[in-house]
Amino acid sequence: MVEFCPKCNNIMLPKEGILKCVVCGFESSLENNKDKYELSEKIESKSQDVTVIENVNTLPSIRIECPSCGNMEAYWWLQQTRCADEPETRFYKCKKCSHTWREYD
């Protein structure tokens, strides 16, 4: 059961034995409905799966320094890892040591 503030019509949350409006601060007694309210927080864990390309021989290459071995040539590809309105993430894979790293815009 959700209670709404009689003054501003926003949600009221239980706090220390009372219902309190999150906007205007109006308070109401919680004694009559004490067992009906429970405050919980939902935390979503987002996992970000990144596809690492194994067969890189067909990918374009670029002259960039590998942070692992210092080699100056790597394969590169773009992948959308964030929201659609954000730019793609650029991935690099060293031609010498196969170290893979990413770069954001």
Point out the annotated binding site for Zn(2+). Answer: 5, 8, 21, 24, 66, 69, 94, 97
Show binding-site residues.
Answer: 5, 8, 21, 24, 66, 69, 94, 97
Sign for the pseudo-dihedral over CA of 77, 81, 83, 87:
negative
- Asked whether the beta carbons of 30 and 37 are under 8 A apart, the reply is yes
Catalytic residue among 65, 86, 88, 103: 86
**Residue 49 annotated in active site:** no
**Residue 85 annotated in active site:** yes
- Asked whether the beta carbons of 18 and 29 are under 8 A apart, the reply is yes
Catalytic residue among 85, 88, 103, 105: 85
State the catalytic residues: 85-86
